[in-house]
A and B are shown apart, each in its own frame.
Chain A
Amino acid sequence: MKAELICAGFGGQGVLTIGKFIAKAGMKEGKNVSWLPSYGPEMRGGTANVSTVVSDEPIASPIVSFPDILVALNQPSIDKFGPSVRENGVLIINSNMCPHGCKRTDVQIISAPMSDIAAEIGSPMVLNMIAIGIIIGKTGLIKYETMEEDLTSFMKAKNPELLEKNLIAIKRGIELGKQ
């Protein structure tokens, strides 16, 4: 098994964190993982993106040219990375920020108003957790339990309320992913 992910969006939307949580969970589940962010001026308000690889085999290259999964939190991310998603790959779109969507028909597209759902849950910060949930629901790349354990370990004492919202967000994402 080897899955290559690209998560992309505006700086501040938490795209790097999506990759980090996936990599961390993969590591905890005994997989080989790598996480390679874009960095520098690109991060400052522009489009941020991160390549994440989760694999049973040792990872030779951490660079993802043709992702199996693309998480696009804004339209520029679709425009930039959409064409390189592998055939039959998964394209997860935040429809609130992607007015034009993606025209490809050879990939599995999951489009959801993630910003609205996050607002509904009560915190715009949980948007990235919805995306992680969709990945779990659609691909089973990592387990929900691993995420819950990880989030609980550092959030429970500090901010139990936010932990709860995060877990709700992941679960909502899983439902969306399974549809």
Chain B
Amino acid sequence: MSKILMKGNEAVAEAAIRSGCRLYFAYPITPQSELIEYMAKMMPKVGGCFLQAESEVSAINMVYGAAGSGKRVMTSSSSPGISLKMEGISYLAGAELPCVVVNVQRGGPGLGDIQPAQGDYFQATKGGGHGDYRTIVLAPNSVQEFADMASEAFDLADKYRTPVMILADGMLGQMMEPVEFKTPKTPEEMEELDKQHNSWCICPNEDGDKKHHHEINSLEIDPYVLEKHVNDLYAKYAVIEDKETRYETYNVSDDNEILCVAWGTSSRIVKSAINELKAEGKSIGLIRPITVWPYPTEAVKKAIGKKVKKVYVFELNTGQMLDDVKIAVEGKVPVDFWGKVGGIVFTPAEIKAKLEACFK
């Protein structure tokens, strides 16, 4: 299939449909509106359900109902709307329901602005709603990856019965880049998907089994039962940490004097700066977490070569991933941070200047 020039918001929607998503509930918000609009246009064409909910809160609870019915379902929003969804995401995690949530981040706190930001890292990676839980969080840095992550997110959600978040930002949502899509699921594959959760989800009791009674529930009134449930969740999360941690290394070598850590949009800008400095003969590596939860702690640790005198973290926030990097670095080398907030995206020139200063 040839490449199509497409906005990230539309690409992730198209990829979700191709991955077998036939249910989508959401509420409009900038800068993710192209996503909801694309779904409004395309879902009826594939016999799917598009529903514009009365609120973000309703949308995520519709997701809860559809996920509890065992079907691939997605919602999307931008930062303020994701905050509203957090209650529902806690319920989804508690009830162990698979679903995909896309966050096209914008500047905060509060209503903030509508420009790209990475200020929801804490919320996304540390649970976000109430109680002890985690969600898998995938952080794309290109339109192609944004699209590819839709199918990956659904696969992970189904495999582990857990909500999966794709943590993008206004730049990835609004930007157009060439994108190549996977072939859509075949009718046979769709049929398989449709019944994959029938052992536990809400579904017709076709053979009239008197014992058929599936409960979709996050309530456990007995403290000992709830304790076991939470421990079971964390046993599952341990498996996810072990098997599903993803990252990319760029220019990482034993000659590195500086190791940069950046995720999502930030990592692209840092790459630009590294390329320019590389041409000037400076050795700087970049490690980019692709899953920001589970966090690639070991990989960051290993990427610190013998000559690295500083680890430099760049984010479009005030240093939210910084904590995770510090945990990985274990105080072995200094960790520096520079970020921009307010929806301002730093430029390659600014990053370059910060990195150049390290060599002086």
Task: List the interface of chain A (C-beta within 8 A of B).
Answer: 20, 23-24, 27, 32-37, 39-40, 59-63, 65-66
Contact = CB atoms under 8 A, between A and B. Distances in A.
B176 A20 contact: yes
B271 interface: yes
Interface string B132-172: 00000000000000000000000000000000000000110
A61 B267 CA distance: 9
Contact of B176 (A23, A40, A66): A23
Contacts of B170: 39
B349 A39 contact: no
Contact of A62 (B5, B31, B114, B175): B175
Interface in B107-153: 114-115
B334 interface: no
Interface string B268-285: 110110010000000000
B269 to A, nearest CB: 5
B30 interface: yes
**Nearest 9 CB-CB pairs, A to B?**
A60-B272, A35-B176, A60-B271, A61-B272, A65-B347, A40-B114, A36-B175, A61-B269, A27-B178
A34 B3 contact: no
Nearest to A33: B178
A34 to B, nearest CB: 5
Given A23-B176, A40-B114, A35 B275 contact: no
Interface of B: 3, 5, 30-31, 114-115, 170-171, 174-178, 268-269, 271-272, 275, 345, 347-349
Q: Which of B171, B176, B177, B269 has the most CB of A within 10 A?
A: B176
Q: Which of A34, A36, A60, A61 has the most CB of B within 10 A?
A: A61
14 contacts: A20-B5, A23-B176, A24-B5, A27-B3, A27-B178, A32-B178, A33-B5, A35-B5, A35-B176, A39-B31, A40-B31, A59-B177, A61-B269, A63-B171
Contacts of A36: 171, 174-176
Contact of A63 (B5, B30, B271, B347): B347
> Helix, strand, loop or mixed for chain B's interface?
mixed
Nearest to B345: A63
A35 B175 CA distance: 5
A75 to B, nearest CB: 24
Contacts, number: 60
A39 B174 contact: yes
Given A23-B5, A39-B31, A61 B176 contact: no
Given A35-B177, A40-B115, 20 more contacts: A20-B176, A23-B5, A23-B176, A27-B3, A27-B5, A34-B175, A34-B176, A35-B176, A36-B175, A40-B114, A60-B268, A60-B272, A60-B275, A61-B268, A61-B269, A61-B272, A62-B177, A63-B171, A63-B269, A63-B345
Contacts of B31: 39-40
A63 B175 CA distance: 10
Nearest to B143: A34
A156 to B, nearest CB: 20
A21 to B, nearest CB: 10
Q: Which of B178, B275, B348 has the most CB of A within 10 A?
A: B178
A40 B30 contact: yes
B42 to A, nearest CB: 19
Q: Which of B5, B345, B347 has the most CB of A within 10 A?
A: B5
A63 B266 CA distance: 11
A37 B8 CA distance: 12
A39 B113 CA distance: 11
Contacts of B171: 36, 62-63
A41 to B, nearest CB: 8
Contacts of A20: 5, 176
B174 A37 contact: yes
A20 B178 CA distance: 11
